[in-house]
Amino acid sequence: MNAGRPQSGHFITFEGGEGAGKSTQIRLLSEALEKAGHAVLQTREPGGSPGAEEIRSLLVTGDGDRWTSMTEVLLHFAARADHLERVVRPALTEGKWVLCDRFVDSSMAYQGIAQALGKDVIRGLTNLVVDTTMPDLTLILDLPVADGLARAGARGEGEDRYEKMGQAFHETLRQAFLDIAADAADRCKVIDAINEIDAVHQAIWSETATRFDL
């Protein structure tokens, strides 16, 4: 377990269903922060470190039923432990802004709720692996499921295991993220991701500037 949350940097996570545009918005926010003179690290989960990227390949490819829910969530948290230790915490200690595509809220939404593993399992693993390294701000990009899956399908990246889990799964997932946002309103902000890319970016920048007094 880590010794405590480094306070010098800022940790922002991006969450949402498939095709919500997280990677694009992370890039745009990174560019805006760098223009304002801040050092930024862009990263992702599962992945973000060499070992975690190897685990990622096991999670995002293959059939939807490739893993049991418990095996799947343990793989996610194994990747997360390596990512935090080798990438996120050192960057925060250096005073960087860390922008991460997915974090523990995805584990809660996907495995804890949509795959019915249970919230207590996710909370227990979060306490063990994440400890105090929680985000300062979580931006949840929300859009209708059909639109998100259409966008995700158009990417053609091959990392489509979760996309193949069906409409009902993704509807449950969307509601799970909205419920997480409501339960952690001090940390989470829901962003309407159906809008044009620049409009979404402006909403994200406004929330970030307000939250961190930029």
pLDDT for 1 beyond 60: no
For residues 147 and 169, give the distance between their C-alpha atoms in angstroms, rounded to a whole number. 15
Question: Residues 93-101: what's their mean pLDDT?
Answer: 97
Domains of the chain: residue spans and CATH: 10-212 (3.40.50.300)
- Partners of 188 in beta bridges: 138
pLDDT for 161 beyond 50: yes
For the chain, the helix, strand and coil percentages under 3-state DSSP, each to the nearest 5: 55, 15, 30
Q: H or E segment at 138?
A: strand 137-142
Question: Residues 67-80: what's their mean pLDDT?
Answer: 96
pLDDT for 7 beyond 60: no
Q: Nearest CA to 12 among 70, 96, 93, 87? A: 96
For residues 68 and 18, the model is more confident at 68
Q: H or E segment at 16?
A: strand 10-16
Residue 193's pLDDT band, with cuts at 50, 70 and 90, is very high
